[in-house]
Amino acid sequence: MRIAVLTPLLAVAALALVPAGASAQSPWLERRVLNIAHQGGESEFPSNTLYAFKRSVRAGADMLELDVGVTRDGEVVVMHDTTVSRTTNGRGTVASHTLKRLRSLDAAYWFARGRADPYRHGLKRAAYRLRGVATGKRRPPRGYKRSDFRVPTLRTVLRAFPRTPITIEIKARTRQEETAEYVRNATVLAKLLRKVRRRDIIVASFRQQAVDRFHALAPKIALAPGSDGAAAWLLGGGSPGPGVAAFQLPITYELGGQRIAVTTAENVARAHREGFAWHTWLSDDGESVATWRQLIDQCVDGVMTSRPVAFERTLRAHSVPAACG
């Protein structure tokens, strides 16, 4: 996840800590700290593949984070980028392809574990150890299938993980990435999820309009606010929006050349007082054991990590402070 738009007022967000009355206890506050596998753990496994989701859960991940878009023929698929070129052997936008075409691609084609950038193109062929599994050119690792290395549909992921909490980010899937497309994708996702009787899902998007549209169509499913809702709450005087159960925000946000603290012990405590959980994502701030420990000490409820295997080791070694409750 990446912040696309936050109002300039966010510059004073860290100072806007207005006490609020306690609200009803959210089920998302009952456990911490959740090991949330961001894209299934894209630094350790191929992004947003069933293989990644299965490996991260087996390693101890408590929750999966994934991104969705809509294909040319109206299917909801799991893919982080607008285009397929960074992670697969295909080209073009998600929205320009049919599901059949996307399912023919190798979603682990450019994955090179152990590199600073696991999706760097142009390395020696030996670096891409999972390339070809999806297409049958290489045997899958023991216990896995060729289909685990293809672009999955959201339906497939939900069936494969019926008892694993999932956070789903709505994205646009054409190069323009207009708000109207986010809203259209929110509509398609709501239609799918209305038929799913689960209450362990959080839906998010940077575009508040997409979050609002989804909530209007599927009001029983929990939300994380868009950028507008988060900014309104951080400023101290506004609601993050109806249906919000958790904030999903970075540690810091860069604005006008200044780096503003967003995930702080004070903001996390305020969220808890008001009945909201706090999940921190690290795509813009970097990851390290020291960073993870700091977040645990700040009482966050979950960390969206690209390294769920390594983060699980930290969780086992670093206890949650008693003050976190």
Please state, in angstroms and rounded to a whole number, the distance separating the CA atoms of residues 1 and 39.
9
Is a pLDDT exceeding 90 seen at residue 7? no
Is a pLDDT exceeding 60 seen at residue 91? yes
Please state, in angstroms and rounded to a whole number, the distance separating the CA atoms of residues 284 and 295.
15
H or E stretch at 303: strand 302-305
Query: Quick one: pLDDT at residue 9?
Result: 37
> C-alpha distances in angstroms, 274 versus 7, 112, 186, 278?
23, 42, 27, 11
Cβ neighbours of 191 (radius 10 Å):
13
Q: What average pLDDT does the segment 149-178 reach?
A: 93
DSSP 8-state code for residue 139 = P
The SS3 call for residue 202 is: strand
SS3 string, 222-241, reads EECCCHHHHHHHHCCCCCCC
Pairing of strands 302-305, 277-281: parallel
DSSP 8-state code for residue 300 = -
Q: What average pLDDT does the segment 258-279 reach?
A: 94
Q: Which domains does the chain have, with CATH numbers?
A: 8-82+165-324 (3.20.20.190)
* pLDDT tens sequence across 99-126: 999 999 999 999 999 998 999 999 999 9
Please state, in angstroms and rounded to a whole number, the distance separating the CA atoms of residues 233 and 199.
24
Query: Quick one: pLDDT at residue 257?
Result: 82
> C-alpha distances in angstroms, 162 versus 69, 127, 311, 324?
21, 34, 23, 29
Helices (H), 235-287: 265-273
Backbone angles phi, psi at 269, to 5 degrees: -65, -40
Task: Give, in degrees to the nearest 5, the angle at Cα 27 between 25 and 33.
Answer: 110
Radius of gyration of the chain (CA): 19
Burial class for 13, CB neighbours closer than 10 Å (0-12, 13-18, 19+): buried
| Residue type at 154 in one-letter notation | L
Q: Which residues of 145-156 are buried (b: 16+ CB within 10 A; e: fewer)?
A: ebebbbbbbbeb
Residue 275's pLDDT band (boundaries 50, 70, 90)? very high
Query: Quick one: pLDDT at residue 237?
Result: 72
* pLDDT tens sequence across 232-258: 999 877 899 999 999 999 999 887 788
Is a pLDDT exceeding 90 seen at residue 6? no
Please state, in angstroms and rounded to a whole number, the distance separating the CA atoms of residues 32 and 30.
7
First to last CA, the chain: 28
CA 309, chain centre distance (Å): 16
Is a pLDDT exceeding 80 seen at residue 13? no
Q: What average pLDDT does the segment 69-77 reach?
A: 95
The SS3 call for residue 307 is: coil
Residue 74's pLDDT band (boundaries 50, 70, 90)? very high
Helices (H), 15-130: 50-59, 99-103
Please state, in angstroms and rounded to a whole number, the distance separating the CA atoms of residues 319 and 303.
15
Query: Quick one: pLDDT at residue 25?
Result: 67
CB 70 within 8 A of CB 95: yes
Mean pLDDT over all residues of the chain?
91
Give the global pTM: 0.91
Is a pLDDT exceeding 90 seen at residue 160? yes
